[in-house]
Amino acid sequence: MSEQPAVLERYRAEIEAELRSVLAGRQSPLYDMMRYHFGWTDEKGNPRTGPAGKALRPTLCLLACEAVGGEYRRALPAAAAIELVHNYSLIHDDIQDDDLERRHRPTVWSIWGKPQAINAGTAMRFLANAALSRLEDHGVPLEKRWRIQRLLDEATLRLIEGQYLDISYESRFNVTVSDYLKMVEGKTAALIACAVEVGALLGTDDNGLIAGLRRLGRSLGLAFQVKDDILGIWGQKQDTGKPVTSDIRRRKKTLPVIHAMQKARDGQKEELVNIYQNGTLDDDCVARVLGILEATGAQAIGQEMTDRFCREAIEAVDRLALLPQGKRDLTALASFVLERRY
């Protein structure tokens, strides 16, 4: 039921080929750090193969393009650009969170140090703009290229604003669900909405349809992050690559914890805040946090919220004038976001 839908495989090889050709010929060791991050090489620069990321965002971009009747190949440079933006944010995020592992491998900063990882991340974000400029080779008119560039740049600002909030919540204990959603709008939903909008823009001139798909992307992005928060606590290591309860150990103020801090009865609320303020977080603390989350129904609340955003997305698919295959694919992706275990 939570098997990866076929659509996540459909464009994978072409997305990777596009990414590789954006990086091809770039000589600075900065780009070697990026090739490592994408899993194409080991830390010495030797080629390797291994499981890749989900490529959800570029897939959504290409899918949106096809769903409105466009030729997806034309959107490949934009799909690559969006994947570059996403991965820039992962490289910086790992630095900011002191995370040592990503996708079962050492993070870029843990190998090359934070100063150079900052450089690699920011440079990757500018490679995204270089990738976009390849739309010209596909005959995309300048007006559209400019509009897409603006969308991608603006989504990046939203993403950073969300990342700012996420970090600022670490030292706050009165974060509300509404604060949380504001953060997720930026950190996750902005780029996913942008991916869908840009794909649509490359397949149609119908601005109403483009705006509808953007809203669909936003709902999907919100659903995706809430589900991520559930998996960060209750996901299994063999699925997510992270130990169960990893977000508790890292003291992340994800939705279940925010919900519990708002809803727990008095003694438990203070206990939770105390644990999160405390210097060390041992197995006993984790067990107590899990107990409080259960007592407040935090997992169910998270799953209900994911359901709601996924339903919004699926209803949007139904309403919009999309090709039948596109409707099926987008619905399958929304169901995957809802049911996924990783």
Q: Is 163 in the site for a copy of itself (CB under 8 A)?
A: yes
Which of residues 164 and 274 has its CB atom nearest to a copy of itself in the complex? 164
Part in contact with a copy of itself (CB under 8 A); list of ranges 141-149, 204-212, 216-224, 293-301:
141-149
Which of residues 133 and 277 has its CB atom nearest to a copy of itself in the complex? 133
**Long-range contacts (CB closer than 8 Å, 24 or more residues apart) made by 12-20:** 12/52, 12/55, 12/59, 14/73, 14/76, 15/55, 15/58, 15/59, 15/62, 15/76, 15/79, 15/80, 15/83, 16/52, 18/76, 18/77, 18/79, 18/80, 18/131, 19/80, 19/83, 19/84, 19/131
Q: Is 176 in the site for a copy of itself (CB under 8 A)?
A: no
The site map against a copy of itself for 195-234 (x = CB under 8 A) is ----------------------------------------
Q: Is 82 in the site for a copy of itself (CB under 8 A)?
A: no
Q: Is 174 in the site for a copy of itself (CB under 8 A)?
A: no
- H/E stretch holding 34 reads helix 29-37
Give min distance, CB of 181 to a copy of itself, in A: 16
Distance separating alpha carbons of residues 147 and 156, to the nearest angstrom: 14
Give min distance, CB of 317 to a copy of itself, in A: 31
Distance separating alpha carbons of residues 269 and 172, to the nearest angstrom: 14
For a copy of itself, which residue of 168, 176, 277, 278 counts as binding (CB under 8 A)?
A: 168
Distance separating alpha carbons of residues 71 and 134, to the nearest angstrom: 16
Give min distance, CB of 290 to a copy of itself, in A: 27
For a copy of itself, which residue of 122, 174, 207, 277 counts as binding (CB under 8 A)?
A: 122
Nearest Cα residue to 320 out of 222, 250, 215: 215
Q: How many residues does the chain have?
A: 342
Give min distance, CB of 126 to a copy of itself, in A: 5
Part in contact with a copy of itself (CB under 8 A); list of ranges 65-73, 152-160, 188-196, 285-293:
152-160
For a copy of itself, which residue of 111, 118, 181, 281 counts as binding (CB under 8 A)?
A: 118
Nearest Cα residue to 112 out of 32, 25, 53, 48: 32
Give min distance, CB of 321 to a copy of itself, in A: 30
For a copy of itself, which residue of 57, 92, 187, 253 counts as binding (CB under 8 A)?
A: 92
Distance separating alpha carbons of residues 111 and 117, to the nearest angstrom: 9
Give min distance, CB of 225 to a copy of itself, in A: 18
**Is residue 250 classed exposed, middle or buried when 0-12, 13-18 and 19+ CB atoms within 10 A define those classes?**
middle
Which of residues 198 and 230 has its CB atom nearest to a copy of itself in the complex? 198
Distance separating alpha carbons of residues 43 and 233, to the nearest angstrom: 30
Question: Where in 14-43 is the site for a copy of itself (CB under 8 A)?
Answer: 28-30
Which of residues 165 and 272 has its CB atom nearest to a copy of itself in the complex? 165
Nearest Cα residue to 129 out of 109, 146, 111: 146
> Is residue 56 within 8 Å of residue 330, measured between CB atoms?
no
* Neighbour tally for 144: CB within 10 Å: 15
For a copy of itself, which residue of 59, 87, 110, 149 counts as binding (CB under 8 A)?
A: 149
Of the chain, the end-to-end C-alpha distance in Å amounts to 13
By the criterion CB under 8 A, which residues form the site for a copy of itself?
28-30, 92, 95-97, 114-116, 118-119, 121-123, 125-127, 129-130, 133, 142-143, 145-146, 149-150, 153-154, 156-157, 160-161, 163-165, 167-168
